[in-house]
Amino acid sequence: MKTFEWAIEDIVAAHPDLYLEHCAVMAVVLMSQQSASPCDFVVEIDGVASPRLADANKFLLRVSWNANTFLNAQRMTSTEQRKPIAERAAVALAALLFAHLIPAGRMRVTRAGDRADYWLPHSQCALEVSGTENFREFARRHKEKIAQVLSNPLRWNGYVIVCCFDKTQRLIRWSYHQQESK
Amino acid sequence: MRRSKVKPAQSMLDKMLGEASWLMSHAEALADYGRNEEAAAELARAAACEEQVASWLDVAERDQEAVLHRVSAAACYEKLGQYARAVTLLRAALSTPVAAEYRRKIEEQLSRCLTRASREMRRAPLPKTRGPIAVAV
């Protein structure tokens, strides 16, 4: 299986239109509870075209972090609620994947009511990201996100990334979806 | 000649879109850290930036994207408790044709903001009556 190893801190420079430092820290909160740096994820891909992936349908992602991010993660552990941590951690991993694997993968965000909507304006795609610490929620969450990404207001095609930070299963499902009428 | 005129405008718009996005994500981060006052200030900046971006997208004839950013600005104002401003933006957003499902969501947001705006208006103190205007003779 193809393996990529990247530092979570890469996302800060790769996405100048987003403030992602805290997402990187939240990702380290979850990853460091399960492993020393680097932390491994199996990434299942469906329909995602990337020159670096060729025809692979899964790969191993090794995410590393530095001592400073780890320190910030330790400080955060005592103050944050679990759900936002999993969601922001997933945004960090999504940002890492797009930074390294998708040309023109710069992300932006808008607000829609209480939630954030992510976009890849240069490739005209919407993006739905979600994170869970419970493997049992994983498949259902991915299905929900597919419906959400396809109902984006601009009717753009879209990517879905769902990250599972379960102690027994560290898994990412990354898929690409096209509008039917296109 | 014409091309050189279009490029800077596009790049300025792109820069503003990036700025709005950054402010939005920074506001979210500050809120995550519980720094609520700073988060509110940043959200207000994000809202203003989104509003401006929407106007520029109108000029660039990117109507659907303009709607998206107007709704985003409205969501910020709603979060800040500035419901009347949100109402104005949502009404403007609804003046552009959008997909039925999205329109329904905007209408729901508008109805929620209208309810809160009228509640807010009832609670607001009456404006002071104007005093006599001194006229210099």
Tell me which of A125 and A182 has the higher pLDDT. A125
A103 falls within a domain = yes
The letter for the amino acid at A178 is Q
| ipTM of model | 0.91
| Host domain of residue A61 | 3-177
Whether B28 and A80 lie within 8 Å, measured CB to CB: no
Domains and CATH numbers, chain B: 2-123 (1.25.40)
Distance from CA of B3 to the nearest CA of A (A): 20
Q: CB-CB: which of B21, B25, B68 is closest to A153?
A: B68
A144 falls within a domain = yes
Closest CA relative to residue A175, chosen from A125, A135, A112: A125
Give A34-67 pLDDT, tens digit per residue.
999 999 999 999 999 999 998 889 999 999 999 9
Number of domains chain A is built from: 1
pTM of the model: 0.90
Q: Are A77 and A26 in contact (CB under 8 A)?
A: no
A173 falls within a domain = yes
Residue A161 half-sphere exposure, CB side, CA atoms within 13 Å?
25
Whether A18 and B22 lie within 8 Å, measured CB to CB: yes
Q: Are A135 and A164 in contact (CB under 8 A)?
A: yes
Pairwise CA distance, residues B32 & B15, whole Å: 26
Give me the pLDDT at residue A160, please. 98
The DSSP annotation for A138-160 comes to HHHHHHHHHHHHHT-TT--EEEE
Q: State the count of interchain CB pairs (< 8 A) between A and B.
A: 75
A168 falls within a domain = yes
Whether A153 and B64 lie within 8 Å, measured CB to CB: yes
Residue B95 half-sphere exposure, CB side, CA atoms within 13 Å?
9
Closest CA relative to residue A41, chosen from A165, A174, A175: A165
A182 falls within a domain = no
- Ordered alpha helix ranges (H), chain B: 2-32, 36-59, 63-79, 83-94, 100-123
Band (B111; pLDDT cuts 50, 70, 90):
very high
